[in-house]
Amino acid sequence: MHFRIADTFTASLARLTRDEQKLVKTTAFDLQMDPSGKGHSFHKLDRAKDPNFWSVRVSRDIRLIVHRMVSSLLLCYVDHHDKAYQWAERRKLQTHPATGAAQLVEIRESVQEVAPPRRAEASTDANAGGGAAASVAIAPPVSAATVTPAAAGPALFAAYSDDALLAYGVPLEWLDDVRAADEDGLLELVTHLPAEAGEALLELATGGTPTLPVPADADADPFLHPDAQRRFRTLDNAEELAQALEYPWDKWTVFLHPAQRQMVARDYNGPARVSGSAGTGKTVVALHRAAHLARQDEDARVWLTTFSAPLAKVLQGALFRLLCNTPRVAERIDVASMDAMALRLYRGQFGKPSKLADQAQIAAWLQEAAATVAGLKQGQAFLLAEWQEVVDAWQINHWEAYRDAKRLGRRTRLPEAQRALCWQVFEQVQARLEQAGQLTWAGLFRQLAEAIPERAHPVFSHIVVDEAQDIGVQQLRFLAALAGDRPNALFFAGDLGQRIFQQPFSWKSQGVDISGRSRMLTINYRTSHQIRAQADRLLGSEVSDLDGNVETRKGTVSVFNGPEPVIRSYPSAEAESRAVGQWLRQCVGQGVQPHEMAVFVRSQAEMPRAQAAVAAADLAAKVLDQHMTSEEGCVSLATMHLAKGMEFRAVAVMACDDEVIPSQARINTAADEVALGEIYDTERHLLYVACTRARDFLHVSAVAPESEFLQDLLQHAGSR
């Protein structure tokens, strides 16, 4: 007998209390061991339109909805008694007549004309394959029987035939509603449709051309269709069930969108990159890519990496959840940050480096050296930026190379005479490094990049890099050296719109050419339409790298609705903290747990305001460090730089004041207009990263005068 779980089950399980979840898990294990259900109270759902829906008693009030047949048992949903029954009475499991994919379809019984709600509950059905939990309902959910077909504006799909809409996975029952949908009602409508249908309609509405699902053969198993595999999982043993139940919020590590699956399994004859805006599942693709490569070859050694140790820890945890039931595959994958692996390889190649110079030491040496060079007009800020972005980044070690350097991104006019004086300063710093036996990180990566090609055997068969937009020049050279010219050796995942640490540079100039092997993800599963649309105002519609590869946010769609973000400025820090505290309490009232909430600020200097807000909400708080470990019962507090790789149901971004973001301290270090522009870009990216950590609720606040960035967010915002 096939034992399966649906993504609607894992999402509904996540909304229960911890004690309730334990009872549900025990029941699920018992059913897997004995699907006949002996010893369990099965109840036939007489009012359900699907004759195979049954309820299973978990406790006095908790009911598990299952689809029960002779050859299979599917866990569909779990909730309190009345809500569980209502869910089952509005759905049926069927095979789509055109695509052949198994679908849980919301039943369309009758039609009433009603005004579309301003805020609606996001159906868990529409979030198949992504996002960890459905959005919190802040208005009564609209049932299938009350969705309006009457369009206030032009009907978007009136000209589409039945066959055309069916080809995209639209259920027969919903064809008339789809044809009647206008722009305002579309987001509400798609929450009632299977994911592939909703995504296709959203893409069509934004001018795209969705990929048609491949119709299955007439005798094919409907659960093996790619669209079905993103929402149903067959579990072969108790270990797989334990994994699925232990981490119900991490659905992305289990259910993949067909477009994601294609990127995971494809063979590439050179470096490849997957990109997409926040929430589109790039990290999930990276995780599955590493696992796929390890499964393909028993002798493979895969390195899964990213630019920081905290993010590498997040990857390690996610990979464990993905592969905990296949330890032999997991053993073939090393998860370590770029710096950690470089140090390990450096020790093996050259021995332990005596010390790595930090920025403060370099700055002090630059200042001392500059004082000895007569006629030097450049200040400390310019010299430090020139060292970091030109001399050290590109590992320039003699005058002729510096004289002829193109100085990408550095447009301050620097006549050769002044450049020669600057070089005297940099030469002294390099001499100090050599005398002290110290390396910079860039120098360490350069030495490794030069030594690795001499090795008889490759260190890794495959390298998968997450958050690739924030790797530096020498790190890329190091990766290119490790990969050589082997196929499938380098795979990158990243978003240029989230670059917050590194200056842009040409990858192609360093031997890494992704032309023709770059793909974009456009379906956002993690963040509501309202939050995504608001955050996107911080960025341009297109971002390109220096090699001409363009990433566009046009056509990116979120598959669920939610409340409008709250964006406000306050007269004082005390007023802001009180207001944010009240908002946090409102989130708790909507069922959001404290550990599902976070407050982000620009730097540690603003942290007291975040702590005051949580105290005003009468909640406990935990300030996250670089280990980024949230705590049950506590609201997480962190700086925006630590927001990378995290997600919460509710996020407050505080202290977005003028001179806080963009940071006035950073602005004061700008040596020229280009450096200033780069600071503004990365500060925008930083706020974008913080805002897009929210799945359902977002509150952005400042003390007047607020940051100029908030003016972008305030356009059409719900309130101020």
Q: What is the pLDDT of residues 565-602, one digit of tens each?
A: 999 999 999 999 999 999 999 999 998 999 999 999 99
Q: What is the pLDDT of residues 38-49, one digit of tens each?
A: 667 789 998 999
Q: What is the pTM of this model?
A: 0.75
Q: What is the pLDDT of residues 272-323, one digit of tens each?
A: 999 988 888 899 999 999 999 999 999 999 999 999 888 898 899 889 888 8
Question: Residues 93, 103: contact at Cβ < 8 Å?
Answer: yes
Which pLDDT belongs to residue 697? 96
Residue 108 above 80 pLDDT?
no
Mean pLDDT, residues 130-157 = 46
Rounded CA-CA distance 553/602 in Å is 25
Q: What angle do CA 87, 89, 90 make, to 5 degrees?
A: 70
Share of the chain above pLDDT 90, in %: 56
Mean pLDDT, residues 482-509 = 89
Q: What is the pLDDT of residues 510-538, one digit of tens each?
A: 989 998 899 988 888 788 889 998 898 89
Q: What angle do CA 454, 455, 459 make, to 5 degrees?
A: 135
Residue 109 above 70 pLDDT?
no
Question: Residues 197, 130: contact at Cβ < 8 Å?
Answer: no
Residue 151 above 80 pLDDT?
no
Which pLDDT belongs to residue 126? 30
Output 322 or 383, whichever has higher pLDDT.
383
Which pLDDT belongs to residue 98? 94
Q: List % helix, strand, coil for the chain (3-state, nearest 5).
A: 45, 15, 40
Question: Residues 192, 178: contact at Cβ < 8 Å?
Answer: no
Residue 247's pLDDT band (cuts 50, 70, 90)? low
Query: Which residue has tokens 């994994």?
Result: 243
Neighbours of 542 (CB within 10 A): 12
Mean pLDDT, residues 454-471 = 94
- Residue 360, classified by CB atoms within 10 Å of its CB into exposed (0-12), middle (13-18) or buried (19+), is exposed
Which pLDDT belongs to residue 188? 85
At 375, phi and psi to the nearest 5?
85, 0
Rounded CA-CA distance 640/690 in Å is 6
Which pLDDT belongs to residue 244? 66
Output 135 or 671, whichever has higher pLDDT.
671
The widest CA-to-CA distance across the chain, in whole angstroms, is 92
Output 350 or 504, whichever has higher pLDDT.
350
Mean pLDDT, residues 354-364 = 91
Residue 465 above 70 pLDDT?
yes
Residue 251's pLDDT band (cuts 50, 70, 90)? low
Amino acid sitting at position 380:
Q
- Nearest CA to 96 among 188, 220, 257, 262? 220
Residue 145 above 60 pLDDT?
no
Strand ranges, E, within 167-218 = none
Task: Tell me, letter by letter, the H, E, C secondary structure of 586-623.
Answer: HHHHCCCCHHHEEEEECCHHHHHHHHHHHHHCCCEEEE
Mean pLDDT of the chain: 86
Which pLDDT belongs to residue 243? 65
Q: What is the pLDDT of residues 257-271, one digit of tens each?
A: 777 888 999 999 999
Query: Which residue has tokens 């506590």?
Result: 634
Q: What is the pLDDT of residues 167-216, one digit of tens each?
A: 999 999 999 999 999 887 888 898 899 988 988 898 888 777 888 887 88
Which pLDDT belongs to residue 498? 84
Residue 127's pLDDT band (cuts 50, 70, 90)? very low
Residue 135 above 70 pLDDT?
no
Amino acid sitting at position 332:
R
Mean pLDDT, residues 237-251 = 63
Residue 122 above 50 pLDDT?
no
Which pLDDT belongs to residue 609? 97
Question: Residues 693, 527: contact at Cβ < 8 Å?
Answer: no
Which pLDDT belongs to residue 30? 87
Q: What is the pLDDT of residues 659-717, one digit of tens each?
A: 999 999 888 877 677 778 888 888 999 999 999 999 999 999 999 999 999 888 876 44
Neighbours of 218 (CB within 10 A): 6
Query: Which residue has tokens 């297109």?
Result: 542
Q: What is the pLDDT of residues 607-662, one digit of tens each?
A: 999 999 999 999 999 998 765 667 789 999 999 999 887 889 999 999 999 999 99
Which pLDDT belongs to residue 718? 45
